[in-house]
């Protein structure tokens, strides 16, 4: 039984460990033949492989506790493995050594530069889930296939399962992709490739990469591996699955019998921002890393002149289609009300400089929520920055007023929906400077058009519900698919709150019209 992972276990004592540490800490110092023999005398093949796997997974430090970069780890281990690759030519451990040496030498040069940090995170098991979205030529599928194969070489008890929604699409897509990956890593001599059942088998250990369709996720429960566990899963074209529930059903069957798992989900974002895959990826989860890429992140020579020219042709002819297909943006169906959104972080430095603060309220209890917004408006740049929000159900006026005061927002005028004068009066009696919006004929249309003409900056960490409303708010369509003029009165509570907050600003423009 192998030793458990640890700080360079099992080679933690003696001269052999010191020699290996020196190779990792000082890449420019070559081992002498005597030093190689000393290491080989002190370590079995399995121990050496365990040591190298631990190093590549990010365990251990140099003398003095200095961290070692993942690139340096891979380079050091590649060099060390080369010295040993002719040892024990007939043993399974020797074959695994040579396969690991070949892959370690190639993987860093085979992934697109934009994925280097992701690879480092995977190797140190920084997260369990990896959400990888991108357009055509973004290298996300190449990255995942290379990484999954490399993980199996590092984790001899691990197997992998690669899934698509429909099984009959796999042979010419993900199966071919993984066959390419084992060739790219130079490990094809140690793999058997089978079509029935569809799987790739690493002969030195018997580890498998299984390919399955999720036509019926319950069938995944019957999948068995000869030893170890299915530690790695890859959902290709995530958006084609029925939803997070379908993926969760599969993971509940595979994530058993261990504490180290990796789950990769790769896809081209669907055009609609309301698609479940796009909405799911917006969620910030502590054990998930999200990565976005496009063909612009890949070396041009990897893509070829023809690919680049096609991308440029589409950019010139139809920028929206180009942004969706090549940049991997969920650009919407073309009916987005707000095309003027700037979705980014609002820094603390910016926050300190804001001196034109406005606040608004849209009343609600249930089923519609109470919505409060605090924002900054820069008239010179015609830019609105959303700063904070309160969006709650089943809260009384005294409760929502207390929440506003607790945040220190009793410092200015709050313009409220005039449909509930009693609620406005309640806010005043509770210590808030509340006033009713003026409204009037055409006020909604004018206010919405005014907002559409300004840049709206949204930091979804500060105002997640406002982000959701503004980014998904679309014109309705008739039965023929044509857009209907007018603004839908649904899922727009914080949008209305923003409109009320800025009413006294745009009312000046309206009075001049």
- Say yes or no to pLDDT of 6 above 60: no
Q: What is the set of active-site residues?
A: 237
Q: 186-200, 234-248, 319-333, 480-494 — which is least confidently predicted?
A: 480-494
Of 248 and 80, the structure prediction assigns the larger pLDDT to 248
Residues 360-376 have pLDDT tens digits of: 999 998 899 999 999 99
Give the pLDDT band of residue 497 (cuts 50, 70, 90). Answer: very high
* Separation between Cα atoms, residue 235 and residue 327, nearest integer Å: 21
pLDDT at 51: 60
For residue 5, what are the contacts with CB-CB under 8 A and spacing of at least 6? 54, 57, 59
Write a three-state SS string for 278-345: HHHHHCCCCCEEEEEECHHHCCHHHHCHHHHHHHHHHHHHCHHHHHHHCCCCCCCCCCECCCCEEECC
- Say yes or no to pLDDT of 69 above 80: no
- Helix, strand, coil % (nearest 5) of the chain? 45, 20, 35
pLDDT at 8: 35
Fold of domain 113-318: Rossmann fold (3.40.50)
* Separation between Cα atoms, residue 414 and residue 502, nearest integer Å: 10
* Domain residue extents for the chain: 14-84, 113-318, 341-512
Residues 313-362 have pLDDT tens digits of: 999 999 989 999 999 998 877 788 898 899 899 999 999 999 999 999 99
Beta-sheet strands, E only, within 43-151? 129-134
Sheet with strand 455-458: strands edge to edge:
341-343, 455-458, 383-392, 370-378, 357-362, 413-416, 433-436
Q: With beta carbons less than 8 A apart as the criterion, state whether 181 and 162 touch.
A: no
Give the pLDDT band of residue 3 (cuts 50, 70, 90). Answer: very low
Fold of domain 341-512: Nucleotidyltransferase; domain 5 (3.30.420)
Residues 431-478 have pLDDT tens digits of: 999 999 998 888 899 999 999 999 999 999 999 999 999 988 988 888
Helix axes 140-154, 176-184, angle to 10 degrees: 60
Six-digit token string for 176: 């071919």
β-strand 191-195 against 198-202: which pairing, if any?
antiparallel
Give the pLDDT band of residue 401 (cuts 50, 70, 90). Answer: very high
β-strand 129-134 against 370-378: which pairing, if any?
unpaired
Predicted TM-score (pTM) of the model is 0.69
Distances in Å between the alpha carbon of 90 and those of 47, 93, 156?
Answer: 18, 9, 18
């Amino acid at each position: 039984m192998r030793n458990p992972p640890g700080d360079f276990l099992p080679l933690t004592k003696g001269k052999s460990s010191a020699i290996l540490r020196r190779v990792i800490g000082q890449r420019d110092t070559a081992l002498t033949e005597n030093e190689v023999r000393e290491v080989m005398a002190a370590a079995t093949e399995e121990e050496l492989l365990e040591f190298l796997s631990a190093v590549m997974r990010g365990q251990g430090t140099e003398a003095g506790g200095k961290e070692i970069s993942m690139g340096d780890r891979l380079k050091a281990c590649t060099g060390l493995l080369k010295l040993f690759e002719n040892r024990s030519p007939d043993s399974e451990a020797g074959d695994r050594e040579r396969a690991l040496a070949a892959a370690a030498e190639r993987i860093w040069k085979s992934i697109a530069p934009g994925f280097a940090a992701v690879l480092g995170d995977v190797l140190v098991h920084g997260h369990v889930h990896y959400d990888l979205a991108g357009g055509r030529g973004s290298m996300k599928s190449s990255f995942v296939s290379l990484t999954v194969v490399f993980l199996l070489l590092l984790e001899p008890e691990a197997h992998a399962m690669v899934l698509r929604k429909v099984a009959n699409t796999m042979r010419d897509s993900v199966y071919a992709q993984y066959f390419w990956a084992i060739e790219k890593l130079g490990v094809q001599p140690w793999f058997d490739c089978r079509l029935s059942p569809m799987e790739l088998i690493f002969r030195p250990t018997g580890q498998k990469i299984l390919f399955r369709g999720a036509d019926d996720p319950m069938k995944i429960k019957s999948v068995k591996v000869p030893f170890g566990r299915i530690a790695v899963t890859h959902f290709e074209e995530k958006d084609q699955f029925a939803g997070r529930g379908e993926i969760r059903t599969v993971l509940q069957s595979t994530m058993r019998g261990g504490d180290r798992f990796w789950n990769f989900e790769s896809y081209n974002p669907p055009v609609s921002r309301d698609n479940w895959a796009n909405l799911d990826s917006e969620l910030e989860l502590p054990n998930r890393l999200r990565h976005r890429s496009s063909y612009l992140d890949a070396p041009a020579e990897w893509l070829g002149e023809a690919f680049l020219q096609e991308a440029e042709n589409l950019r010139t002819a139809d920028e929206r289609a180009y942004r969706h297909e090549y940049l991997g943006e969920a650009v919407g169906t073309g009916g987005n009300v707000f095309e003027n959104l700037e979705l980014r972080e609002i820094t603390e430095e910016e926050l300190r400089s804001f001196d034109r603060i406005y606040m608004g309220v849209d009343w609600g209890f249930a089923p519609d929520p109470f919505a409060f917004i605090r924002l900054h408006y820069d008239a010179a740049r015609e830019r609105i920055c959303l700063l904070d929000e309160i969006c709650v159900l089943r809260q009384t006026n005294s409760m929502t007023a207390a929440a506003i005061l607790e945040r220190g927002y009793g410092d200015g005028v709050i313009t409220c929906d005039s449909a509930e004068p009693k609620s406005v009066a309640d806010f005043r009696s509770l210590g808030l400077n509340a006033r009713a919006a003026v409204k009037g004929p055409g006020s909604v249309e004018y206010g919405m058009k005014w907002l559409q003409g300004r840049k709206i900056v949204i930091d979804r960490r500060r105002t997640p519900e406002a982000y959701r409303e503004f980014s998904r708010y679309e014109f309705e369509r008739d039965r023929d698919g044509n857009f209907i003029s007018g603004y839908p009165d649904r899922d727009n509570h914080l949008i209305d709150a923003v409109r009320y907050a800025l009413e006294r600003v745009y009312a000046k423009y309206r009075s001049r019209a």
